[in-house]
Structure 1
Amino acid sequence: MTGALRDLLARHVAGGAVPGAAASLGPETAVAGALAVGGEPMRAHTIVRIKSMTKAVTAVAALRLVESGHLALDEPVDRWLPELADRRVLRTPTADLTDTRPAVRPITLRHLLTCTSGYGMVLTDSPLRQAMVDGGLDIGLDQRRYAADDWLTRLAALPLAFQPGEGWRYHHSFGVLGILVARVAGRPLQDHLTDDLLRPLGLHDTGLWVPAGSVARLAASYWHDDGLTEIDPAGAGDYAGPPPHDVSHGELVSTLVDYTRFVRVLADGGRFEGGRIVSAEHLRLMTTDQVPAAAKTPDSFFPGFWDDEGWGFGVGVRGTGRYGWSGGLGTTFFVDPDGTAGVLLTQVEIGERLQPLFDEFL
């Protein structure tokens, strides 16, 4: 495979799909292009916004709290998140916001990890979807604009789309999970992750923002219009420097070196340098389908998603046994049953121009 990975990246850079890309596949790594159009070369240490690939990291952090006795998978979370006590549930997902009934069970850690809490993105026009847009909670809006407690208060003001455990909706459960981990730990998520997971694994460039001394390595981000349209310039944007408020509900930045090391821990059975980061049983739950068949409704996610995909704890699971997930700004990772792992990082929103690169890499 020598050279094939770099050739793949270089071909898609030359074709205009991405300004630059960094990837690892098994023992090989490759980079191509630049961290911004006309900018410095892409490096393995270039910092990128990994968006929803954060979910796997947060899941491991939560499972470590379970293993230390601070949490339990089926324990109600309203002990730490009183905003989520006494939930109301829509009679149907498209019902008027006042047409509700009491929740028959509390939200648990397992519900958050499996995206079955009752909160999540709404793809069909409905009063709930409009309320999420009006409240700044739509998935297309950066939830970091609000402090973590404010964001949770806004979310908790809305009814659940379904009874906890009886449906599936993507994304928002993991913002809640970040806040839960922070409250159980008694400090902001950034501080807890750094001490409990990131520093022990040597993930020095992974966090909820980029320190001032490292912002020059933060890549620009783009979306495709007629060409590449810049969203955030290199070295700038919401992730450059400490935020003005708590972002425990937010998403991470990382590098190819860092995220590959994290994925290798998963591929190696949760072990790192002779120690154990997550138990074998929790890793099994994390990386196998945990969503009840009745919750896999056609309206719960994009058409056809459930045809060949399941969901564990923060990762998607294929019928082949491969697990992994992607981030909206053009990042993805996978682990195969034989331990082969791959990570691909770009900074272009996922869409039809980027999909060929994803497909060939995967």
Structure 2
Amino acid sequence: MSDALQELLTRHVTAGTVVGAAGLFGTGADVEVVTAGSMSLDGPPMRDDAVLRIESMTKAVTAVAALRLVEGGALSLDQSVVAWLPELADRQVLRTPTAPLDDTAPARREITLHQLLTCTSGYGVAVEPSPLQDAMEANGTAAGPEPPSMGADEWLARLASLPLAFEPGEGWRYHHSFGLLGILIARVVGRPLHDHLTDDVLGPLGMADTGFWVPESAADRLPAAYRNTDRGLVEIEPAAGGFYAGPPPYDVSHAELVSTTRDYHRFLRVLVEDGQHDGRSFVSSEHVRLMTSDQVPTRCKTPDSFFPGFWDGMGWGYGVVVHTEGPHRGRFGWSGGLGTDFFVDPDGTIALLMPQVEMGPALFPVLEEFQALG
């Protein structure tokens, strides 16, 4: 299937949908990385060791970090997170997700780790026009493709100033629970998430090129990022520069990673191997099972929770979407806001698609073709 992936990448570079991309497709530990296009418009060829902004593909990595803390006894799945995130104490809940911000009632329960992992905390993207959506836009907590504009503590304080869209455990909203999860991990271990992930997950798995920024020594491996517009592709992050080039000016424990195709493949191999790495348990098989199977109750899968059709034959585990019906039943994976995508099939096949073009209508056909390769 590597040839089919190569053809897909080359065709969409030629069509001008993406500038460049890397990817892989196959089973086993030794899988060839394929590339097409360039690191930027009129730039050098796309490198097979390019360090790419993976955005929401970070969620699976953060989930594993949290599960390792559970296995170490520092957390439990059904434990309230308020001891470490006191900003989330005494929550107010909107009477309906689109109600005025002052039409609330006190929350009946506290937010748990399980609810952060499953995006059922009450925080998340407001997809319908509402006072809550307007307030998130106004205070800088609305989700978007841009890098974080503030540090983790300030982001948390602003988010916590708003009511929950629903009672914890009674609905589903995307994204913000994982920003909270990153801050939770940082506070549990007493240091920035970057440091903890480096020592506890990335280092042990040999993911040397994965982190919250690209060091100066590797800046030439950071491609440009683009947005499709009616004027064609417009650069939104330069090659070898921008927010991810060098350490950020504030704590980004609520933010998202850069990685390489090979690094992320190493991470996914742990899930394929039932939590094993180099013959030892890295995360328990039971936690891998929970992570890669549907954990969201049917009552939470409402049409207003995400985009139309999202729940058709699908579920959500811990940081990944799960196919519950159809020809790809048992497949899990997820994507990132700059067009990155991955899936893992029950037979152990791993597929990765790594462009750097903002998610949108122009890119959706690329993802559909990629998902159809398996």
Q: What's the TM-score once normalised by structure 1's chain length?
A: 0.98
**Equivalent position of 1:52 in the other structure:** 56
**Equivalent position of 1:269 in the other structure:** 274
Task: Please tell me whether residue 310 in structure 1 is matched to residue 307 in structure 2.
Answer: no
Pair 21,143 (structure 1): closer, same or farther in 2 beyond 3 Å: closer
The 1-side partners of 2:32 and 2:184 are apart by 37
Structure (1 or 2) with the greater helix fraction: 1
Task: Please tell me whether residue 137 in structure 1 is matched to residue 146 in structure 2.
Answer: no
**Equivalent position of 2:337 in the other structure:** 328
Residues 210 and 242 in structure 1, CA contact (< 8 A), matched pair in contact too: yes
Residues 111 and 168 in structure 2, CA contact (< 8 A), matched pair in contact too: yes
Task: Please tell me whether residue 41 in structure 1 is matched to residue 45 in structure 2.
Answer: yes
Residues 137 and 143 in structure 1, CA contact (< 8 A), matched pair in contact too: no
Task: Please tell me whether residue 297 in structure 1 is matched to residue 302 in structure 2.
Answer: yes
- Following superposition of structure 1 onto structure 2, how do residues 180-329 of structure 1 map, counting pairs within 5 Å? 180-225=184-229, 226-319=231-324, 320-329=329-338
Residues 113 and 177 in structure 1, CA contact (< 8 A), matched pair in contact too: yes
The 1-side partners of 2:340 and 2:359 are apart by 8
Residues 143 and 249 in structure 1, CA contact (< 8 A), matched pair in contact too: no
Deviation of residue 211 (structure 1)? 1.0
Q: Which among 172, 176, 179 is matched to residue 168 of structure 1?
A: 172
What amino acid maps onto 1:165 in structure 2? G
- Residue by residue over 1:178-232, the C-alpha shift from the partner in whole angstroms, topping out at 9 and shown as x without a partner, is 0001001110000000000001111011001111111111110001113111101
Deviation of residue 142 (structure 1)? 3.7
Deviates more, 1:120-129 or 1:139-148: 139-148
Instruction: Point out where structure 2 has 5 or more consecutive residues left out of the alignment.
Output: none
Task: Please tell me whether residue 25 in structure 1 is matched to residue 25 in structure 2.
Answer: yes
What amino acid maps onto 2:199 in structure 1? D
- Residue by residue over 1:90-136, the C-alpha shift from the partner in whole angstroms, topping out at 9 and shown as x without a partner, is 11111111111111110000000000000000011111111100000
Task: Please tell me whether residue 358 in structure 1 is matched to residue 363 in structure 2.
Answer: no
Deviation of residue 353 (structure 1)? 2.1
What amino acid maps onto 1:12 in structure 2? H
- Following superposition of structure 1 onto structure 2, how do residues 60-209 of structure 1 map, counting pairs within 5 Å? 60-140=64-144, 142=146, 144-209=148-213
The 2-side partners of 1:352 and 1:58 are apart by 28
What amino acid maps onto 1:325 in structure 2? W
What amino acid maps onto 2:24 in structure 1? S
List structure 1 runs of 4+ shifted beyond 4 angstroms. Answer: none
Residues 267 and 339 in structure 1, CA contact (< 8 A), matched pair in contact too: yes
The 2-side partners of 1:4 and 1:179 are apart by 40
- Residue by residue over 1:27-60, the C-alpha shift from the partner in whole angstroms, topping out at 9 and shown as x without a partner, is 3421111111111211221011001000000000
Deviates more, 1:158-167 or 1:140-149: 140-149
Instruction: Point out where structure 1 has 5 or more consecutive residues left out of the alignment.
Output: none
- The alignment of Structure 1 onto Structure 2 pairs a total of residues equal to 362
Q: Percent identity?
A: 63
The 2-side partners of 1:293 and 1:2 are apart by 37
